Chains A and B, each alone.
Chain A
Amino acid sequence: MNKAAELLIAAGSIGQMERYIEAGASAVLIGESRFGARLPGDIEAGEMREAIARAHAKGAKAYVSVNKLFRNAELPDLPGYLKLIADAGADAAVFGDPAVLLNAREAAPGLKLHWNAEMTGTNSAAAAFWGRKGAVRAVLARELNEAEIADIKRQTTLEVQVQAHGMTNIYYSQRNLLQSYMEHIGREAHIVDLGADRGRYLAEAERPEEKLPIFEDRNGTHVMSADDICLLEALPDLLAAGVDSFYIEPLLKPEAYNITVLSSYRSALDAWAANPEAYRFEERWLDDIRALQDPDRELSFGFLYKEQVY
């Protein structure tokens, strides 16, 4: 472990990006919904140069999300966008669709690439494959346990990123499910009213306590987990395993909450970096988060200690 692990968060505006960096983020994920999936807000192409410069000025890296699945009609915008973000100094583009790879080779050959295929990034052989295609980082699925994460890191030369905190996307459709349902029950619904900040959630009859946030945007319908993962207490194990980057998902959370989360993770990461042997978990890191935690949403270890069957 020669280098400090990264603390990464998505930001929806330049100002928010700066506040997150001040709170402890060492890297930010930015972009717009034309190219990236489930961003907390759009930083448009015209603002990209300034955004990246400001992140760099504060000592943080800036990654741009280009991780949507693209349609034919959207492809012509890719070369220009990739060139623009490369010229603006982006530290990497995050992709899931191989169309981005093909375009990056031509339009932005120097741009680093992070492979993020969401729930389908599950093993080291796939990571190695995308590595040979040019990716320098694999973003792992949230549905992996600790042993799997550690084994993937052992078996790959790529950087490994895991989500450490926040909700996770558990279902993504290109159908407009909210709009369709509102129509079906005879309510007027408009796409602008269906966005992420409207507090909509689904509850299943047998699990009424599990509230699954749902929202719709230009890319389709997104259902999110009922719990917020919080791997703060597991950081030493993940750091020992060599995880390179810890992602904080800020989606559907107040900025103040995300800032507190960043501060706690920053404290933990700094303490570990200073002296792994002397590292001791401090309960107040977690207490600070708990104080702002939505009481309807449990903090959990996600799949970190789970056995899944199939």
Chain B
Amino acid sequence: MDSYEIVVIGGGPAGLAAAIEARKNGVENILVIERDKELGGILQQCIHNGFGLHVFKEELTGPQYSERFIKELKKMGIEYKLDTMVLHIDEDRNIEAINTKDGLIQIKTEAIVLAMGCRERPRGAITIPGTRPAGIFTAGTAQRFINMEGYQVGKKVVILGSGDIGLIMARRMTLEGAKVEAVVELMPYSGGLTRNIVQCLDDFDIPLLLSHTIVDIKGRDRLEGVVVAKVDENRRPIPGSEVEYECDTLLLSVGLIPENELSNEANIEIDPITNGPIVNESMETSVSGIFACGNVVHVHDLVDNVTRESRKAGKCAAKFVKDELKEDSHTVRTIPGEGVRYIVPQEIRVENVDEDITLFMRVTDIFKDAKLVLENGDKTIKEIKKIQFAPGEMEEIKINASELKDGEIGDLKVSIQKGGK
């Protein structure tokens, strides 16, 4: 039985930042467990740029961004195990992991930071009818094949879903010599960042078909075509609007799901909206001493936010180990109101907020000329006005500790209201 003060599960951007921050806050005995053969996580295959504007004030590619953290982690001498998969965890913070070198490993730790990231929704999750040929990939799988393994996955491509990965892959496949016929999006708006629509689709004249979906898949052994149809306001295909696109490849970018099989094993309470653990101000889950950060908690669109959140998780895990977190503090909940889909963290133990706390949230729909309003009872604490709020872009509201500790504060509600700029 090995023992550590903190074990971080996952060596991607979340896990790296959490481990480094825990060390900076005085914890010596830390282990990072990574299932891939190197650290860095999914960023190693995200070779496009656009990472790091907040954290490093410069624009980096995914590998560049992760390399900064990997270097720092190694410099600090934090222990890590590669090619190692965690099989089980429990509420008492016992971990069972496995690799080829050490075999089955039993670990006891004072705190765990969950940083397993997320996975892509496959075809079955959205039940696209048709045949089941080769040539249908989730966008991330295609990204790995192309960017890391060096294989091309197809020549004529249709992409379903206009989230950032779908948009980025449209450009990548085009640059690598494929023809992207169209990006098909069920919703009337794109789920990705506007800049990606400009530089990944518009630059290459790739059509974005909003309010469309794929209703049939053709081809026996390899994909031969997809049938695209318009959808009505209830997202149901409109009969008669079908158009067939000849293609040998379909990329699916239809959403990400936090990977919480381990969290479930430890009986950690999961938020049905985020599909991630319910966390408090310290990024601690419902199980004491088990923290979580990054895409395992909720799917982010900017890695910079993952870093911020994970630093907090690392710092608070360190506090937990040193017994500096107050368990019996006055606790308030964050309540998503009208137009807000979820808020992370879901709970705030007021006394543990040092200087300020940032609430991350997503809106439910496109709202033009609106404002995000944070209220405590009838009292408005904060307002953020914008020309447009979109579900694809995570919003945040920062609250100063003084505002929380001002008298006996109740639950905090955030909602979208009319009247922006």
Tell whether A and B belong to one assembly.
no
